[in-house]
Structure 1
Amino acid sequence: MDEVKVYVGLDVHKESIAIAFAQAHTRDEPHFVGTTRYSVISLTKALAKLGAPSELSLCYEAGPCGYGLVRALQERGYHCEVIAPSRVARQPADRVKTDRRDALLLARLHRAGELTAVVIPEPADEAIRDLVRARDDAASDQRRVKQRLKSFLLRHGHAYTGKRWGPKHELFLSKVKFEDPAQHIVFTEYRLAVRFATERVERLVQALHDQTASWRWMPVIKGLMTLRSIDFISALTIVAEIGDLRRFPHPRDLMSYLGLVPSEHSSGNSTRRGGLTKTGNTHVRRILIEAAWNYRLPARIGESLQPRLEGQPQRIIDIAWKAQLRLCHRFRRLRARGLHQNKTCAAIARELSGFIRTYAQSRA
């Protein structure tokens, strides 16, 4: 790319794009160009008045419109970045927000180099990520409809005390009867909703297996599955959401990205640390928090983990076993100190993310 002469900030919405620019190598205030409709053709016509594509550096905040615009601009020779909205510095006293001001702010900060760009996934990787999130949404819907059915039965004195959703539970449901026809209709509709939701989850899980069979990140997924409590869905979620784990220079960077580090508000001699920052990717953070709970048990290679170790290099197996020994010991030690189990799980999840980054580095 040639030397950048103009930095352009775009405030993108589904129907319009506000454009502002700042001249490079100067301290002049940015200028507002105007607003155009959401169209690559209209946008490139407006950008042509500012200079050649090689002389412009564009940016806009990540939002619901996705990555279609940045890919279209890059195909036309523009250098364009998608910015993390949470990292855009805004003045606390600034209580006026307009498209014009947002575009001017982006242009100013882009020229100063104070913006943080997000990683733009490949179209194939984004498609897998969409499928992973669709399965996650389907699983959430399944939990909701199951809870509705359980609540309805409990309210009418038909509570089940055994293991739910197995053959015995289905036999129990088939024998439940209501005297009022209206209540029986409600009961039947809830049962059908549970069945449809379960079938939907199963279809999406099978689709994930089919679509990822030849995916370029499949070796990484199989490697992560050697870790305890990281099954296919968990490993797939981690890789689909984060992408190349090697883009984090240090494990601490991955921990911070996932929001697994404690917040802090220190000033002078006063040091105050709070709960987790909970920034970054919520999907992966939830997966790791749930996985951390399994390390409360002694270290062992069970029947569910043994098949996942077969065919993996010895160095990968060694990392997985080292992680299990350390995390199981640390879980017991933290609990023995009286630390709350939720805080213990957060600490274990933080260290587990470090081992995940170590594994990625071992493949480099």
Structure 2
Amino acid sequence: MNVKRIGIDLAKQVFQVHGVDSHEQPVLKKKLKRVQMLAFFRDLPSCLIGLEACSSAHYWGRELEKLGHTVKLIAPQFVKPYVKANKNDANDAEAICEAVSRPTMRFVAIKTVAQQDLQATHRIRSQLVSQRTEKANQIRGLLAEYGIVVGQRLETLRKALPGLLEDGDNHLTSHFRSLLNGLKDDLIGLDERVKDLDKRIQRQADTDPGAKRLQQIPGIGPITATALVSGVGDGKQFKRGRDMAAWLGLTPGQHSSGGKERLLGISKRGDAYLRTLLIHGARAVLKVAGQKDDPRSRWLQTLSERRNKNIAAVALANKNARIAWALLSKNIDYQPDRDRPAGESAWA
């Protein structure tokens, strides 16, 4: 079969395949069950295959590449404009096949198994932290109904719980004390799981070359460094640092027309988790910038005075993202003497 390019609409059990030949004429329209996928493509001559980036796309991308095919992943929002008529599996596969042929199309890098392992660690940790926060808020809310108010910090709640359980004069019933003790055990269990994942992330940060280089940047610690490695790999899917910063949603949105340039706030596109980590790290650097006299700290102080601290933190997060791209894509160490104010970055 003379197939030049294929688009696959992925699913759980049934996959729709659409292929065209060298004359761009459809020559393959087929449904495949999950168990038939690898056998079918093993017998097919090597060709370009387009997949819509989804939860299983990286797995199928790796498996199809092992069979000698060239695989490209496309973000769903870039496929949608090519869907003709009503939405169904066949039209989606045809749209993917068309989209992957576009010379200016932006593709998603296929993650390795190691990247997915690390990303899974971060996702589980993030969910556990959210559950811990919910648990702490539930405890505070229930205590407030009994007239007991505990400070907002998690550490304050941890220290207060044993005393509240032992205090016989706080008018808590034995039934509620039993419930509160169970909530305390839940909180301790979540703490232990988060600590265990923190140790795993720290070990990865100490052994991965890319993560070790990223930690040289002020504002990037083990969690942010490993999250970046799991999210962008070597960063070579981006042509320059600004592209990676834009992918993270750290560059201005734009709404321009008729020759009138109108820039908005940051676009907030891409991975919200990575963007949040970079901004929190930038806030930590900004907090101590007043105690230092290096060029970066002076620039941060000037910017926060001229605009505000939030803008300064986002600007530094943008700058750190560009530097991170340079360290990952070029395999170089961080060089503070080349660090310049935003807009004059030697890394972009």
Same fold (TM over 0.5): yes
Equivalent residue number for residue 352 of structure 1: 320
Equivalent residue number for residue 45 of structure 1: 40
Equivalent residue number for residue 68 of structure 2: 77
C-alpha displacement of 1:252 = 0.8
- Greater CA drift, 183-192 or 254-263: 183-192
Secondary structure at the counterpart of residue 90 of structure 1: helix
User: Which contiguous aligned blocks of 4+ residues in structure 1 show a shift greater than 6 angstroms?
Assistant: none
Secondary structure at the counterpart of residue 9 of structure 1: strand
C-alpha displacement of 1:264 = 0.4
* Structure 2 residue 100 is matched with structure 1 residue 132: no
C-alpha displacement of 1:75 = 1.9
Q: 1: CA distance between counterparts of 2:101 and 2:122?
A: 36
User: Which digits, 9 at most, give the CA deviation of each residue in 1:187-239, with x for residues without a partner?
Assistant: 2222122111101111222233445654xxx2332232233332222222222
Equivalent residue number for residue 14 of structure 1: 12
User: Which digits, 9 at most, give the CA deviation of each residue in 1:138-157, with x for residues without a partner?
Assistant: 22222221222222223332
Q: 1: CA distance between counterparts of 2:112 and 2:214?
A: 21
| Cα distance change of structure 1 residues 297 and 256 upon mapping to structure 2, 3 Å threshold | same
Secondary structure at the counterpart of residue 329 of structure 1: helix
Equivalent residue number for residue 109 of structure 1: 99
Q: Note if contact 1:297-1:328 (Cα within 8 Å) is conserved in structure 2.
A: no
Q: Note if contact 1:88-1:115 (Cα within 8 Å) is conserved in structure 2.
A: no
| Cα distance change of structure 1 residues 17 and 274 upon mapping to structure 2, 3 Å threshold | same
C-alpha displacement of 1:288 = 0.6
Equivalent residue number for residue 332 of structure 1: 301
Matches of residues 281-296 of structure 1 in structure 2 within 5 Å?
281-296=271-286
C-alpha displacement of 1:20 = 0.8
User: Which digits, 9 at most, give the CA deviation of each residue in 1:32-69, with x for residues without a partner?
Assistant: 51212123x34643785xxx422x21111111224222
Matches of residues 30-179 of structure 1 in structure 2 within 5 Å?
30=26, 33-39=29-35, 41-42=36-37, 44-45=39-40, 48=43, 52-54=44-46, 56-90=47-81, 96-161=86-151, 164-165=154-155, 168-176=159-167, 177-179=170-172
C-alpha displacement of 1:114 = 4.9
| Cα distance change of structure 1 residues 21 and 5 upon mapping to structure 2, 3 Å threshold | closer
| Cα distance change of structure 1 residues 247 and 117 upon mapping to structure 2, 3 Å threshold | closer
Q: Which amino acid aligns with 1:259?
A: G
Q: Note if contact 2:143-2:149 (Cα within 8 Å) is conserved in structure 1.
A: yes
* Structure 2 residue 241 is matched with structure 1 residue 241: no
Q: 1: CA distance between counterparts of 2:145 and 2:218?
A: 39
| Cα distance change of structure 1 residues 44 and 6 upon mapping to structure 2, 3 Å threshold | farther
**How many aligned positions are there?**
328
Equivalent residue number for residue 188 of structure 1: 181
C-alpha displacement of 1:274 = 1.8
In structure 2, stretches of 5+ residues that fail to align are 334-348
In structure 1, stretches of 5+ residues that fail to align are 302-320
- Identity in percent: 21
| TM-score with structure 2 setting the length | 0.82
Q: 2: CA distance between counterparts of 1:247 and 1:57?
A: 18
Equivalent residue number for residue 313 of structure 1: none
